[in-house]
Structure 1
Amino acid sequence: MGIQISLKLHEKFTKYPCCFKRRCGILNKDIQINIYFQKGGSLLKKKWWWLLVVLVMIILGLLGGKMYMDNKKEQKTLDIEKQSVKVLKKTFANIAKVKIERIGYNNMTGSYSIVVTMTNKQGQSAYFDYGFAENQKEISDYGIENEDVQKEGATSGKVKVIYSNGSGEEL
């Protein structure tokens, strides 16, 4: 004696021999699944549905991959900005706040050009750019805009940082 499961989606459907049999070890019985297809349904319509399903899966895969890559790129940019601010603290004295305006990458040199507005503890600001290479311990070059703000030395306290994506933290 076996278990029989039938799937009938519509009264107009006619039974075509599409049957799956399997022996179930737990119940020690045969299980049979019958599937009913629509009478007169063409094979071409079924192929179009499968093609549509495959295309939707491919599009979802591509969108998911793009979102993953964008997130990975944004995370790398954030890591570079953090590294550069730590090096900036070792280059200039009395920094209170750093706002990263924009960041650009040079494929030829492998370095970044970062534009910042830096504010010292007296409230004076300087808008300038500097060059930074990943995992370096010093800034490669920077433009001097305001010598009162851009004093060489080191900043020992916490610095408020606003990153190019708008997020902020204290380093």
Structure 2
Amino acid sequence: MAVDLDFKAVLGRFCTGVTAVTAYDTEPLGFACQSFSALSLDPLAVALFPARTSSTWPRIREVGRFCVNILAEDQETVCRRLGRPGPDKFADLEWSTSPNGAPLLAGALAWIDCTLAQELDGGDHTIVVGHVTGLGELRDAPPLLFYRSAFERLTARPLSETTPTGHRAAVSASK
């Protein structure tokens, strides 16, 4: 259907960061997720949107808590590994344990520990609400971005003006 193609093309123009959602049951669990968003400041909450076809999300749901790892631009390989189905996703991946017991990926920019608060029907995806139980910044580096079905990186451009808060206002995505 043409509308489906138009929908994907139009929404593909929205640049997103890339995360890895992890948990630990009898083994480390995880999947790559670019459908992620801040949701609420009171209570602190985030939202993520795993595909209904995910074989990993049901296992993380059973655990009831998870960690969102915000990936850096040099973690494309980590993203691809956690984005594929199958066992041994964590083979050769370096990680430690977050306060809630989930894998905290080495090299991530930041992490957000959550407890599962709610799931809603999102069509071919599930809308997951997580209440934040802990978070932290790990390193200062450019983020891994996804734009028009490809990984991208930030490039700084000189600005003619700043935002009202004095911060630089623009960053562009380039291949």
Fold similarity call, TM over 0.5? no
TM-score range for the pair, normalised by the shorter chain length: under 0.3
TM-score (norm 1): 0.23
TM-score by structure 2 length? 0.22
- Name whichever structure is richer in helix by fraction: 1
